[in-house]
Structures are given as structure tokens and as C-alpha cells.
């Protein structure tokens, strides 16, 4: 019988980005089924001010957590940073060995191999399971590594685990057909804490909302801004509110210059990073959302957490047709689908504005879809049932 689930992650916790929200949704789902769940984070640091500093340990929305590093701001000393990197597996081993026992399942939500190897030793000693949760194509994980490191990673990294949980059918097929992965694989779609959006002020505003990292390769932010420019004269009261951090200073400069060149300084607002409660309120008060992600390896094999959050609010969502979007969403039924191009997104914005009552019906169907396919309580019950099939974990 599974008596405990420990999620070990490189994501910041409890204040973080999309990966953190996925972990929170999953942990709360496990807890709702009576399974004790905790989170161990080895997130080291972010740029000052980009993400709120997280406490060393505590309880967040019923989830026990511990951060193995005391400080989460980047130390100016290279030597200290190197020591942090070398100490990481040891700190994780120390935290996990106290936390893991027989009947525990360790879910690994990170990409580094040495921390995973430390957890492998812990789970062998404690007769526990080690499962990798994979939400990205492995090529994205290794794109910055040298050739030998890429080869070794793809050859050995996934062998450390007893099984995989993948976020899309495309990833499932990749591991099965291309990597010939022989251990159990289980599909866990993007999941949302749907209750997060209950009983929140959903007063309609004139705000088009985007949340996520402000870049083009992953999110198509330039496309979104240009689409907004195309309709800005027709709807002078609409605002474009962008929430999230820039990957670097050059992106920040570029996007502000773009907005300035289009004379949209009074219509486009950059809000930066917001914590979970602030972001929940901003999402619920949106008039509608635009998911402008362009085609890419990441889009094809992944599935965005924020898209599920948009849908869960019950507000209309414009969605670019990438990856497995069409497995769940139908244009004009539960979302408005289009290509990630300014003209097509602008046409969908006009469609919403010209018949907002109909768009709200589509938005409610989007929420129904989120409840049906991405509900954290439903999906975590499936995970628990799957984990019980392992020989190391006795069935109830």
C-alpha cells in the first residue's frame, strides 16, 4: 500500500512558475485521496526579485515542504556556487533518507542525473519506488550539453527510474518507439487544481491576459503583441496585460521597444512575476486569454499548464493549434483555435468582442473540459491506481 508520496523537484516551492503550479495541483490531489504528500525542492536561486524567496520549510495549502538550500539568491562567488552544485546530491540524499520508507513513492520532477542517482540509492535502501515525471522532450533537456554529455544523458538518465509519467501521448510514443524504453510508462496530462478558481471574484474586465515566460521561441509574445496592435484601434478600451518574467535583459528591452514602436505604451502592461494568489485573482478577472505558443519541439511534445488554468476560469480562450491541443479542444465549442499568427489571433479577438455572450458559453465549455480531462483529483487517483500495479508496492 502507498502510504506516502515525496515529490523531489528543481522547481522553486511554494512560490514559482508553471512547474510549481503543476506540483501543487498534483500534491493536493494526492492528499485529497488520503495519501501523505510532501515536496523537497533543490531550487538554488533566481535573479534577485524575479521569484519570491521561499521559506526553508513549512506547510503550503496542506502540503509539507522543505528547501534544501537556505538562500535562493545567486551568490556572487563562483566557488560558493560550485560548492552548492557539488553538495546538491548529498543534501537531497540527506533530506530524502529521513523522509522515505517502505511504501513511499518518490516522484522526480527535475532534469539533473546526479540528484536522481542519489534518490536511486535512497529508494533501494528504503525499498521504495522512484518515478520520473517528464513534461518535455529529452532533446530540450540536453540542447546546451556537449555531444558526449547528450549521449550519456539519453543513454543512462532514464534507466535510473522504475517508471515514467509523461504529459502527452506524443512523449509516450517517443519513449516507447524511439528510445525503446522498456519500463512502465503512464500518461498524466496537464493537471489543474480546479478548486483554485472557485469562489474568486470573476468580475469582467477589459483585460486580455497572458501569463508565462516572456519570450518568443516558447510563447510567441511578439505575435500576441502584434495581434493586439491590429485590433487596438477598433477596441480602445481593451488592455493587454502580460504577467511573467523575462528570460534575460535583452528580451525585456526588445519587448518594451516593440510596444513603444507600435505606440501601445498605454495599452500594454508588463506586470512581472506575481505569486500564486495574485495570479489567481488576475486570471479570474480577465476578459479572455490568448495562448499564442508557436509550433516547436516543446509545443509538440509538451502541454502548457497555463492553458489548463485559463480554461479552468470559465473565460474564453484563444488557443494556437500546436501539439495535442486538438485532442481536447474544438474550435467554437470549448475554445477558439487558430494558427499562431497575428492576423488569425486578431480575427479571433474580434469574434469574441462582437459576441461576448457566445464566447462566455464557449469559455464555460472550456472549464467543463478542464474538469473532465485535467482535474487534479481525478488524475491523481489514476496515478495512485497505476502505482499499485508495481511489484514493489503491495495493493490495498
Q: In total, how many domains does the chain have? A: 2
Question: Does some domain include residue 392?
Answer: no
For the ranges 108-122, 198-212, 233-247, 366-380, the lowest mean pLDDT is seen at 198-212
CATH number at residue 146: 3.40.50.2000
What does 336-385 look like in DSSP terms, one character per residue?
A: EEE-SSHHHHHHHHHHHHHTHHHHHHHHHHHHHHHHHHSBHHHHHHHHHH
Q: Which domain holds residue 255?
A: 194-373
Question: Which among 362, 368, 287 has a CA at the least distance from the CA of 332?
Answer: 362
Q: Are residues 220 and 165 both part of a single domain? A: no
Question: Does some domain include residue 393?
Answer: no
Confidence of residue 45 (pLDDT cuts 50, 70, 90): low
Q: Are residues 366 and 383 both part of a single domain? A: no
Question: Does some domain include residue 256?
Answer: yes
Q: What is the mean pLDDT of the chain?
A: 91
pLDDT in tens, 3-20: 899 999 999 899 888 999
Give me the pLDDT at residue 51, please: 45
Question: Does some domain include residue 141?
Answer: yes
pLDDT in tens, 280-298: 999 999 999 999 999 999 9
Segment 298-315 mean pLDDT: 95
Q: Is the pLDDT of residue 49 over 60?
A: no
Q: Are residues 311 and 368 both part of a single domain? A: yes
Alpha carbon distance 201, 188 (integer Å): 30
Length in residues, the chain: 396
Segment 322-346 mean pLDDT: 97
Give me the pLDDT at residue 69, please: 81
Q: Are residues 356 and 207 both part of a single domain? A: yes
Q: Are residues 33 and 88 both part of a single domain? A: yes
Q: Are residues 382 and 263 both part of a single domain? A: no
Angle at 238 between CA 236 and CA 242, to 5 degrees: 135
Question: Does some domain include residue 396?
Answer: no
Q: Are residues 42 and 88 both part of a single domain? A: yes
Segment 177-201 mean pLDDT: 90
Which bin fits 212, alpha (ψ -120 to 50), beta or left (φ > 0)? Answer: left
Question: Which among 380, 334, 52, 5 has a CA at the least distance from the CA of 193?
Answer: 380
Q: Are residues 53 and 198 both part of a single domain? A: no
Q: Are residues 206 and 329 both part of a single domain? A: yes
Give me the pLDDT at residue 96, please: 94
Distance from the Cα of residue 80 to its chain's centroid: 29
User: How many CB atoms neighbour CB 316 within 10 A?
Assistant: 29
**pTM for this one?**
0.91
Share of the chain above pLDDT 90, in %: 77
Q: Are residues 155 and 207 both part of a single domain? A: no
Question: Does some domain include residue 99?
Answer: yes
Question: Does some domain include residue 254?
Answer: yes
Q: Are residues 63 and 200 both part of a single domain? A: no
Question: Does some domain include residue 359?
Answer: yes
Q: Are residues 169 and 134 both part of a single domain? A: yes
Angle at 282 between CA 278 and CA 287, to 5 degrees: 175
CA count, 13 A, side-chain hemisphere, 372: 10
Give me the pLDDT at residue 155, please: 87
Amino acid at each position: 500500500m502507498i502510504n506516502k508520496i515525496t515529490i523531489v523537484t528543481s522547481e522553486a516551492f511554494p512560490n514559482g512558475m508553471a512547474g510549481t503550479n503543476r506540483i501543487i495541483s498534483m500534491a493536493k490531489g494526492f492528499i485529497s485521496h488520503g495519501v501523505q504528500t510532501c515536496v523537497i525542492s533543490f531550487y538554488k536561486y533566481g535573479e534577485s526579485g524575479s521569484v519570491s524567496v521561499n521559506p526553508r520549510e513549512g506547510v503550503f495549502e496542506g502540503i509539507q515542504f522543505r528547501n534544501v538550500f537556505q538562500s535562493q539568491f545567486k551568490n556572487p562567488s563562483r566557488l560558493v556556487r560550485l560548492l552548492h552544485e557539488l553538495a546538491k546530491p548529498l543534501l537531497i540524499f540527506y533530506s530524502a533518507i529521513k523522509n522515505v520508507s517502505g511504501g513511499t513513492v518518490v516522484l522526480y520532477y527535475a532534469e539533473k542525473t546526479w540528484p536522481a542517482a542519489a534518490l536511486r540509492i535512497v529508494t533501494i535502501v528504503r525499498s521504495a519506488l522512484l518515478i520520473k515525471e517528464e513534461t518535455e522532450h529529452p532533446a530540450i533537456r540536453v540542447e546546451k550539453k556537449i555531444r558526449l554529455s547528450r549521449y550519456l544523458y539519453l543513454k543512462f538518465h532514464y534507466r535510473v527510474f522504475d517508471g515514467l509519467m509523461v504529459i502527452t501521448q506524443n512523449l509516450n510514443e517517443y519513449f516507447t518507439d524511439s528510445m525503446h524504453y522498456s519500463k512502465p510508462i503512464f500518461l498524466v496530462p496537464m493537471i489543474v487544481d480546479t478548486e483554485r478558481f472557485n469562489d474568486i471574484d470573476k468580475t469582467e474586465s477589459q483585460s486580455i491576459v497572458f501569463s508565462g515566460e516572456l519570450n518568443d521561441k516558447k510563447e510567441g509574445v511578439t505575435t500576441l503583441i502584434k495581434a493586439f496592435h491590429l485590433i487596438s484601434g477598433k477596441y480602445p478600451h481593451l488592455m493587454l496585460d502580460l504577467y511573467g518574467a523575462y528570460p534575460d535583459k535583452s528580451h525585456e528591452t526588445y519587448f518594451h521597444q516593440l510596444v513603444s514602436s507600435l505606440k501601445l505604451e498605454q495599452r500594454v502592461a508588463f506586470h512581472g512575476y506575481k505569486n500564486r494568489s495574485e495570479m489567481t485573482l488576475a486570471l479570474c478577472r480577465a476578459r479572455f486569454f490568448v495562448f499564442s505558443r508557436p509550433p516547436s519541439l516543446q509545443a509538440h511534445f509538451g502541454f502548457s499548464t497555463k492553458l489548463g488554468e485559463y480554461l479552468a476560469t470559465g473565460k474564453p480562450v484563444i488557443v494556437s493549434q500546436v501539439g495535442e491541443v486538438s485532442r481536447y479542444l474544438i474550435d467554437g465549442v470549448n475554445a477558439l483555435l487558430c494558427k499562431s499568427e497575428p492576423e488569425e489571433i486578431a480575427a479571433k479577438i474580434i469574434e469574441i468582442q462582437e459576441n461576448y455572450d457566445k464566447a462566455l458559453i464557449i469559455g464555460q465549455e472550456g472549464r467543463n473540459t478542464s474538469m473532465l480531462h485535467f482535474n487534479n483529483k481525478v488524475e491523481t487517483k489514476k496515478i495512485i491506481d497505476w502505482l499499485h500495479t508495481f511489484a514493489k508496492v503491495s495493493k490495498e
